[in-house]
Structure 1
Amino acid sequence: MKPLIPMALAATLCLPAARLGAHPHVFVDVALRFTADTQGRLSEVEVTWSYDDFFSLLILTDMGLDPDGDGTLTEAELAQLKGFDLIEWPDGFEGDLYMYQGETKIALDHPIPTGIALTNGRIIATHTRTFGPVKADALRIEAYDPTYYVAHSLAGPITLPKGCVYTITEPDLDESQEQFRQMLSELSAEEQYSGVEIGNLFSESLSVTCAAPS
């Protein structure tokens, strides 16, 4: 999730994960709300990112917001902050959200910012992304930063249309670390320096199924 990293962290986060070890630097709780069309097919997801308090402080400082440090933003400050994490969207960046139907990746449209708040020192940013529509058959969703600078947690809530259920599969962290070490052992020093994409090794997996509409 490099596009939203403030200048205060840039020097540290420019180092690849391979050199720093498999340890994230920013922590984000993820909530998802899915919307269905009139035929019961999923067609939109509202994504809420709740950033950790330290990263939130760095963002506010970097943007010159909340100068009195009272933890309350004015309407003008909220308007300035809204969409801060969506401004830079380079080619190939997928927004740290991946959806699959079986083995087929579902294309997600560009995000639209819909909400912003500062709650208990944490920035809470919301955006929506449309897709499909698709039937919720063998639907899998993963939220992760490929570089693992940012650790995403599907803390929820996960909100689905009526008739839909979900399960979350946790990664085996010991196995993930072993896979990470194995990847490093097979890379040259130059390849390690350029970074490896390991975020998927440490990500949770959300599976969604919906009953056929009656």
Structure 2
Amino acid sequence: MIRSACAALAACFCGPVAAHPHIFVDSALRVVVEDGLAVAVELTWTWDDFFSLLIFEDMGLDPDADGVLTPQELVTLRGFDLVEWPPGFEGDLYAWSEGRKIEMGFPEATGISVEAGRIVSSHRRSLPAVPASALELKQYDPTFYVAYSLRDAIASGGCEVRVAPHDPQAAEKVLEKALEETPEDMFAEIQLGEHYADTVRLRCDAS
């Protein structure tokens, strides 16, 4: 469902702008910690109003265009962002433990709502029970088609979240260099998203 809406967006843009984001998401995450082990990440994504409108149109929702969905429409919308995951797609969330990349479980939809015309979707992803104090998370779309802004990050189990923000100026320099060195017809292949990602780490009380 997202890919069809993305295709509609892509048709509106061409040239160097293709290397800039077209979808904007405010993200909040909660790391679930049990007995010192990180066992899951709960994510909430608030999609921008234009993309939300495209999703409504694509799914035939909100025909009166008032930005308010019926309970049945919300049931239909729930999990819309988890349906079409192409091979190799990792859900725009990446995790490491002691420097080693770890695999997360497939997402489970946990909530859906619409606030001020923006879709708010929530899901949960399991972790393979790694030490919470060694966990590192980054949220980004490698192609930078979707821009994630981390608005909130918390953890349970007596752990404190520390967020190291990305360096916007350094990221822009990487972008400028990539655009200079990459043929225009290859812009879609540029992998820039990680340079715009904040880094989430946990500090947990010893007990």
CA gap of 1:180–1:5, structure 2 versus 1, over 3 A, is same
Equivalent position to 1:27, from 2, 6, 24: 24
Q: CA deviation at 1:40?
A: 2.5
Contact 2:154 2:161 in 1 (8 A): no
Distance in 1, Cα, partners of 2:58 & 2:5 = 10
> Quick one: distance in 1 between partners of 2:4 and 2:203?
32
Per-residue CA deviations over 1:172-201 (Å, capped at 9, x if unaligned) read: 2121111222234444555x3452110011
Letter in 1 for 2:139: A
Residue in 2 aligned with 1:110?
106
Deviations 1:91-136 (A, max 9, x none): 1000000111232112111111111101111100011100110112
Which range moves more in the overlay, 140-149 or 163-172?
163-172
Among candidates 47, 50, 57, match of residue 51 of structure 1: 47
Deviation at 1:73? 1.0
Q: Which residue of 2 aligns with 1:155?
A: 151
Stretches of structure 2 that go unaligned for 5 or more consecutive residues are none
Judge conservation of contact 2:33–2:157 (CA < 8 Å) in 1. Answer: no
Q: Give the TM-score of the pair, scaled to structure 1.
A: 0.87
Tell me what 2:11 maps to.
11
Provide Cα deviations, 1:121-167, integer angstroms capped at 9, x if missing partner: 110001110011011233211111111111101112x2211321112
Secondary structure of the residue that 2:64 maps to in structure 1? coil
Give 2:145's aligned amino acid.
Answer: Y
Q: Comparing 133-142 with 196-205, which one deviates more in the overlay?
A: 133-142
Between Structure 1 and Structure 2, the one with more strand by share is 2
Amino acid at match of 1:160: A
Q: Which moved more, 1:112-121 or 1:180-189?
A: 180-189
Matched residue pairs, number?
A: 206
Q: Please state how far the C-alpha of 1:7 moved relative to its aligned partner.
A: 4.8
Deviations 1:45-71 (A, max 9, x none): 111110011111111122111111222
Structure 2 SS opposite 1:137 = helix
- State how 1:118-129 maps to structure 2 within 5 Å: 118-129=114-125
2:94 counterpart residue number: 98
- 2:141 matched to 1:179? no
- After TM superposition, give the deviation of residue 87 of structure 1 in Å: 0.6
SS of residue matched to 1:155: strand
Structure 2 CA distance, aligned partners of 1:76 and 1:8?
Answer: 25
TM-score (norm 2): 0.90
1:71 aligned partner: 67
Partners in 1 of 2:71 and 2:140 — Cα distance?
31
Decide which moves more: 178-187 or 95-104: 178-187
* Structure 1: tracts of 5 or more residues without a match: none
**Residue 36 (structure 1) aligned to one of 33, 36, 39:** 33
1:211 is aligned to 205
SS in 2 for 1:61: helix
1:4 to partner: Cα distance: 6.8
**RMSD value, Cα:** 2.0
Aligned counterpart for 1:84 among listed residues 72, 80, 92: 80
CA contact (8 A) 1:3 1:85 kept: no
Q: Distance in 1 between matches of 2:188 and 2:200?
A: 30
